[in-house]
């Protein structure tokens, strides 16, 4: 059986979920890149709230700091650098066949949603582990332990990825006068 | 709450796909990719409720890859803008057959 959640919890879960959904829809329909970026930040904030409600406190904090803070600021920085902020007659929404394809793909993905919301069609999932007891090191230690033990190799490879990204960004971004 | 979170994740991913397919502004297409990555992160966190902390560790990896992708992708956008004075993806068809 599905575990019961207090009404307070469910209400806020649905509230933030609906905010995320509405902001996402507004995000893809805005013409101005700046307005779109602001709605995307709103999506990310509501997702951070959902992460905290699902006992992923550290992920929620990182979501606000890295995603809403750093990555979106880089996007806005590029928008301003290229002076693209004004939506001057941008009809950048495609038309015709591409729209039809998009609708078809959306339909396929939304049917997945329909399956997910119908518990009878789903395989029986293991019961939630429930609230883990507060770890000694707090919210960070819970993640740091597997990150630096089980996933140490992946963590080290990530540093190579970041190095490649830095070098790539510098090479692509510099002026080629030669 | 797991089912609801997975449903929201699927919906956000669908919205991101629609954005990637229907928009022509390269920056907005990039932001839609970020939205799709966020949807995947939500699914990871939801499943970490069922299967332990591995999901949350993967969210951290996804965020790292997203940051690297944003850095390189935006550098490409800037380089493109320098050559073509546009970020409209329909004007950039050099590799199109």
Convert the pLDDT of each residue in A137-152 to its tens digit. Answer: 677 888 888 889 889 9
Q: What is the mean pLDDT of chain A?
A: 82
Largest Cα–Cα distance in chain B? 49
- Count Cβ atoms below 10 Å from residue B78 Cβ, excluding itself: 16
| CA-CA-CA-CA torsion sign (A166, A172, A173, A177) | positive
Distance from CA of A133 to the nearest CA of B (A): 13
Percentage above 90 pLDDT, chain A: 30
Q: Residue A1: its pLDDT value, please?
A: 44
Distance from CA of A116 to the nearest CA of B (A): 6
Instruction: Summarize pLDDT for A112-126 with one digit per residue, the tens.
Output: 777 777 767 766 666
Cα separation, A70 vs B71, in Å, equals: 11
Instruction: Summarize pLDDT for B28-42 with one digit per residue, the tens.
Output: 999 999 999 999 999
ipTM > 0.85, yes or no: yes
Cα separation, A93 vs A99, in Å, equals: 9
The model carries a pTM of 0.82
Gyration radius of chain A over CA positions: 21
DSSP A80-128: HHTT--S--S---B--THHHHHHHHHHHHHHHHHHHHH-GGGSPPPPPP
CB contact under 8 A, B78 and A78: yes
Cα separation, A116 vs B2, in Å, equals: 10
CB A75 within 8 A of CB B35: no
Instruction: Tell me which of A101 and A161 has the higher pLDDT.
Output: A161
Using an 8 Å CB-CB cutoff, list chain A residues near B67.
66, 70-71, 162, 165
Out of A5, A24, A169, the one facing B72 most closely (by C-beta) is A169
Q: Residue A133: its pLDDT value, please?
A: 58
CB contact under 8 A, A27 and B14: no
Out of B18, B64, B88, the one facing A158 most closely (by C-beta) is B64
A58 pLDDT higher than 50: yes
Q: Which two tokens stand for residue A100?
A: 């039809």
């Amino acid at each position: 059986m599905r575990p019961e959640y207090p009404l307070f919890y469910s209400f806020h879960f649905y509230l933030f979920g609906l905010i995320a959904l509405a902001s996402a829809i507004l995000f893809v329909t805005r013409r101005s890149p700046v307005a779109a970026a602001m709605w995307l930040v709103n999506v990310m904030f509501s997702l951070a709230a959902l992460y905290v409600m699902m006992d992923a406190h550290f992920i929620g904090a990182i979501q606000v700091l890295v995603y809403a803070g750093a990555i979106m600021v880089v996007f806005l920085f590029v928008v301003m650098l290229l002076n693209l902020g004004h939506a001057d007659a941008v009809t950048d929404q495609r038309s015709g066949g591409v729209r039809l394809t998009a609708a078809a793909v959306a339909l396929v993905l939304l049917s997945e949603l329909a399956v997910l919301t119908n518990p009878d069609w789903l395989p029986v999932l293991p019961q939630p582990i429930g609230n883990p007891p507060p770890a000694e090191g707090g919210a960070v230690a819970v993640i740091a332990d597997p990150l630096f033990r089980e996933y140490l190799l992946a963590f080290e490879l990530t540093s190579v990825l970041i190095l490649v990204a830095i070098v790539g960004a510098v090479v692509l971004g510099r002026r080629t006068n030669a | 709450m797991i089912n609801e979170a997975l449903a929201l994740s699927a919906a956000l991913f669908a919205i991101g796909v629609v954005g990637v397919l229907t928009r022509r502004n390269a920056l907005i297409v990039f932001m839609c990719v970020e939205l799709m990555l966020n949807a995947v992160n939500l699914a990871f966190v939801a499943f970490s409720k069922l299967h332990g902390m591995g999901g949350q560790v993967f969210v951290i990896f996804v965020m790292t890859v997203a940051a690297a992708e944003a850095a390189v992708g935006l550098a490409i956008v800037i380089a493109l803008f320098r050559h073509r004075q546009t970020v409209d993806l329909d004007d950039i068809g050099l590799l199109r057959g």
